[in-house]
């Protein structure tokens, strides 16, 4: 939790945090009910982000960024209003201060993003895409090529069970790239425990005699129910015992 807190707050510039906090206080003071709702929503969603026990916790940062953006806008608006209330003999001074502040609101985010913007301009992608392996920048067709290795080895009316992170590429490649829309793809298991659900077993038993059924991952549990034939290292076909 400590590491995630540091990670989250280090991703937001200090000047932006000030405006966000000002926006929170402004909403709570000027519109108490409306100001309380986003605060409660932020605490709940962001609380999951720093405490949840799985690897994709950053997913929770996406919805809370909408809330913090609203607070940021409220804080910036409030600061502009406070500048307008300053009493100077020359009113042009207030206009200059407001204009300067609005210019800063545009330039500071660009300046804080320079470490990602520079490689985007040079290479076409930000550093974190390569660092976190979000997208195979050196092999953009890898997902389709890997999927076609599976699809070429199965019949057009097959049922395929695969891990969640491969399903999209398999479905896209089969349906869109190859036009094989009769192949049915399913997630092998939806929990951290690699165990077939009772509904999955019932579904397999219902279709096993009429359609070929494959798994792209192997688990010893399969041999408890079926006879397993290894096609290759990434494809297994099951039969009744």
pLDDT one-digit tens code per residue, 208-231: 999 999 999 988 888 989 999 999
Identify the pLDDT of residue 194.
76
Which class does domain 142-240 fall in? alpha beta
* Percent share of the chain, pLDDT over 70: 98
pLDDT beyond 90 at 93: no
Tokens of 209: 């005699």
* Span 13-18, average pLDDT: 92
The more confidently predicted of residues 90 and 77 is: 77
Q: How confident is the model at residue 20 (pLDDT cuts 50, 70, 90)?
A: very high
* Span 137-146, average pLDDT: 86
* Percent share of the chain, pLDDT over 90: 57
Euclidean distance between CA atoms 61 and 92, whole angstroms: 41
Identify the pLDDT of residue 137.
78
Task: For residue range 155-185, list pLDDT tens digits in order.
Answer: 999 999 999 889 999 999 999 999 999 999 9
Edge-to-edge strand order for the sheet containing 235-240?
Answer: 184-187, 159-162, 213-215, 235-240, 226-232
Identify the pLDDT of residue 120.
86
* Span 148-154, average pLDDT: 92
Domain ranges within the chain, ordered by starting residue: 2-131, 142-240
Give 4's contacts (C-beta < 8 A, 6+ positions apart): 49, 50, 57
CA distance to 2, 129, 158, 210, 229, per residue, from 155 (Å) = 50, 36, 5, 12, 15
Of 141, 153, 147, the closest CA to residue 175 belongs to: 147
For 41-70, letters b (16+ CB in 10 Å) and e give: ebeebbeebbeeeeeeeeebbeebeebbeb
Identify the pLDDT of residue 2.
92
Ramachandran bin of 133, using left for φ above 0, alpha for ψ from -120 to 50, beta for the remaining angles: left
pLDDT beyond 90 at 103: yes
Residues 76, 20 contacting (CB under 8 angstroms): no
The more confidently predicted of residues 182 and 118 is: 182
Identify the pLDDT of residue 89.
67
Bridge partners, residue 226, by sequence: 240
Residues 38, 95 contacting (CB under 8 angstroms): no
């Amino acid at each position: 939790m400590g590491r995630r807190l540091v990670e989250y707050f280090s991703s937001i510039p200090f000047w932006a945090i000030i405006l966000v906090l000002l926006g929170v206080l402004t909403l709570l003071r000027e519109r108490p009910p409306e100001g309380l709702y986003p605060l409660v929503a932020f605490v709940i969603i962001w609380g999951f982000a720093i405490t949840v026990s799985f690897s994709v916790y950053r997913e929770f940062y996406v919805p809370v960024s909408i809330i913090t953006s609203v607070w940021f806008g409220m804080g910036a608006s409030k600061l502009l209003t406070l500048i307008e209330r300053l009493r100077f003999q020359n009113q042009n001074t207030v206009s200059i201060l407001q204009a300067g502040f609005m210019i800063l609101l545009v330039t500071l985010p660009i300046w804080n993003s320079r470490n990602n913007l520079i490689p985007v301009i040079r290479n076409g992608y930000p550093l974190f895409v390569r660092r976190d392996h979000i997208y195979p920048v050196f092999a953009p067709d890898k997902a389709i090529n890997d999927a076609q290795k599976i699809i070429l080895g199965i019949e057009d009316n097959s049922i395929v069970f695969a891990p969640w992170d491969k399903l999209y590429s398999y479905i896209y490649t089969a349906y869109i790239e190859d036009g094989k829309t009769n192949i049915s793809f399913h997630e092998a298991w939806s929990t951290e425990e690699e165990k077939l659900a009772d509904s999955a077993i019932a579904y397999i038993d219902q279709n096993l005699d009429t359609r070929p059924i494959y798994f792209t991952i192997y688990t010893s549990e399969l041999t408890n129910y079926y006879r397993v034939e290894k096609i290759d290292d990434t494809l297994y076909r099951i039969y009744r015992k």
